[in-house]
Amino acid sequence: MIYTKPRGLIYILRQDYYIRPPGKTQYRVFLYLFLGGTDMKHVGLYIRVSTEEQTENYSIPEQRERLENFCKAKDWLVVDEYIDGGYSGAKLDRPAVQKMITDAGTGTIDTVLVWKLDRLSRSQKDMLYLIEDVFIPNSVDFVSLNESLDTGTAFGRAMIGILSAFAQLEREQIKERTMMGRIARAKSGLVMGPTAPYGYRYVDGQLIVDEYEASIVREIYDLYLQGYGMEKVSNMLYEKMQLTSASGYAAVRRILSRPTYAGLVHYSGEVYPGQHEKIIDVDMWKRVQEKREHSRNYQRGKRQKHLLTGMIYCKRCGAKYAYHVHSGNNYYDRYMCYSVCRSRKELIKDPHCDNTKYLAAELEQLIIAQIKELALDESKFNKVIQKRIEAPDPTQAMQKQIKEIDKQINNFMDLYQYGKVPVETINERIEKLTQEKSAIEKSIRELNIKPIPKREDYEPTLSRVDSIFETGSADEQRAAVRNLIDHIDIDGENVVIHWVFE
């Protein structure tokens, strides 16, 4: 005997189940006794149709009829129907699907039957979630008529493994295509992201400069190159940028780090020329990045209370110099190698180091005098950068290779015009040459050749040296030092300043 209708039977079964929980085992025992010992599957029919699919083959009555006929042929008991009318199969946030998931967990059903796989879900990811994370853990079989898929059989379970493999392959391919699309977009000079960076507006999909915000961006770069820290800059431009106290520092840091303002596009570690108008020149952007890399950021500078802390290195053992406070008179405060003072064991490089200790006031005045001399004597600045000017260009040989590759590509294009070489051969050779050229260009970018500095780049600080060290605050003095000096080496009586523009 096959019990699929009337609904009264289902109601009686449900009523007994809910009166006498708990769950699956007792429910099955009741059905088994009620049906005279027949071992039936307890099936939930899932039926879905979207608004656009209201055709004869996809209609709810048509799906129900086919599923019920299959249950009769298999001697299965239909316990419930889960019908989502007018819902898309793209997502699982459908009321009938959610009820079916709940019933699968409570043991109300032990089989889910659908007409086609896409009735349950059009997403492989969601389909596998239902089968592997909902049905299988709750001992619920899944059957699809159209695809002859039954997870209750060995073949059906094997098919799930194949579906999982194809789903993983599809995810990897989507990821790869997305990555390739983004790289192609970056190479074409288009900026990523739905929101335009500060200083720009999107107009018809193109980045257009917002003149008011662009003037603030330029001011941020100018102030930072003058030696002001990011937090100080954000405080100075607080009202202009309409910042909140929480976003000021982060906004300035984001602006200073973005190559977009120099007319460049950055993606996946590579930088490409952009199609948009630049707000600052490339040299200014590079100088800011150098300053961010070599100088100490604001937070670290805030912890350093003294003028030269964090900047002095022992030439003998390689350790940093510490500021050692004298307990009685601060005149006797000293800068000394960490290996000598041994105040922090983790910073000791050589416990036998005997490098010279310097009175803090004397060493600081020595460094300030060198900075003032640099500000007054332009020839000293020129002498420092002359080494950079005379140094051989490490990219010269690579630039020569690029010119040779361009010449070969042009030759192949001429052969194509004359029809002397098959097109396939030409395309293959040109593609290979293009790959070689891209690899060389990447190597040049990785060398990160710094532009030759100009004195006017540091003029905002050099022109204010006297006033900074006579009446300026401690923060302003530290900022000026870090804007001009990369680090200081000490070897006995020899104190060597390494300028940031060397």
Axis-axis angle for helices 24-34, 7-19 (nearest 10): 130
Q: How confident is the model at residue 397 (pLDDT cuts 50, 70, 90)?
A: confident
Q: What is the pLDDT of residue 356?
A: 94
- What's the whole-model pTM score? 0.41
* Overall average pLDDT of the 104-123 stretch: 89
Q: What is the pLDDT of residue 489?
A: 96
* 7-166 classified as CATH 3.40.50.1390: yes
- For domain 200-294, the CATH superfamily is Putative Large Serine Recombinase; Chain B, Domain 2 (3.90.1750.20)
First and final C-alpha spacing in the chain: 95
**Identified catalytic residue from 50, 59, 164, 257:** 50
Question: Residue 100 corresponds to which tokens in the numbers above?
Answer: 């079916």
pLDDT, tens digit, for every residue of 438-475? 888 888 777 766 677 888 888 888 889 999 998 888 88
Is 50 one of the annotated active-site residues of the chain? yes
What is the four-CA torsion angle of 283, 293, 365, 367, rounded to 10 degrees?
Answer: -60
Lowest mean pLDDT among 179-193, 214-228, 343-357: 179-193
Kindly tell me if the per-residue pLDDT of 13 is higher than 60. no
Which range is most confident: 136-150, 166-180, 293-307? 136-150
Strand-pair category, 149-150 with 141-144: antiparallel
Spatial contact of 48 and 84, defined as CB atoms under 8 Å apart: yes
- Domains 7-166 and 200-294 in one fold: no
- Domain coordinates in residue numbering, the chain: 7-166, 200-294, 312-499
Q: What is the pLDDT of residue 225?
A: 86
Phi-psi region of 490 (alpha: psi -120 to 50; beta: other; left: phi over 0): beta
Whether residue 194 has a cis bond before it, omega within 30° of 0: no
